[in-house]
Amino acid sequence: MQNYVAELRMAVEQATPLLLKLSPAEARQSTPGKWSPCQIIGHLIDSAANNHRRFVLGQLQEDLHFPGYAQEDWVRVQRYDEASWEELVTLWKYYNLHLARVMETAPEETLTKLRTRHNLHEIAWKAVPVEEPTTLGYFMNDYVGHLKNHLRQILGPDWET
């Protein structure tokens, strides 16, 4: 099993009870120019949905070229601050546990196959230059890093044990 699969599961299991300790009012608090915890978890749900498709297609096609999405618009249109905090956290949790299963069941040769055609310079959290080959495994690991980065925004830099 890839390390990032275990990291994803651990992050979800550790963060979920801490997230649920936030009151709905705390989850809706934001500062100018920054997302509230509701909006961050909503964004992570959107990220899970978009990357779910990418992780499946990355096993079925030769390249890693996928459409992006307008993150700010997705958060705005879905009005996450009006959603139930508990429902958002629950959806985030189970969607990510499903993604961990998708990652875990991907064949090793598919995860490590070098792809010269990709757009991870546009859609990855930590971009890969367009001229450098990359792997689906890199992209999955990048997803986990992105998720943990946003959890630190809500729970603080020391939330991971």
Read off the pLDDT of each residue in 2-18 and give the average, rounded to a whole number. 96
Does pLDDT of 141 surpass 90?
yes
Read off the pLDDT of each residue in 10-20 and give the average, rounded to a whole number. 97
Please compute, for residue 147, the number of CA atoms within 13 A of its CA located in the half-sphere on the CB side: 32
Cβ burial 102-127 (10 Å sphere, 16+ → b, else e): ebeebeeeebebebeebbbeebbbee
pLDDT in tens, 113-123: 999 999 999 99
Delimit the domains of the chain by residue range: 3-155
Query: Degrees (nearest 5) of the Cα angle 4, 7, 10?
Result: 155
Q: State what percent of residues in the chain have pLDDT above 70.
A: 99
pTM here?
A: 0.96
Does pLDDT of 74 surpass 70?
yes
* CATH architecture of the domain with range 3-155: Up-down Bundle (1.20)
Looking at residue 118, the DSSP 8-state letter turns out to be B
Report the first-to-last Cα separation within the chain, whole angstroms: 21
Residue 32's pLDDT is what? 87
User: Helix 85-105 crosses helix 136-155 at what angle (to 10 degrees)?
Assistant: 160
Looking at residue 54, the DSSP 8-state letter turns out to be H
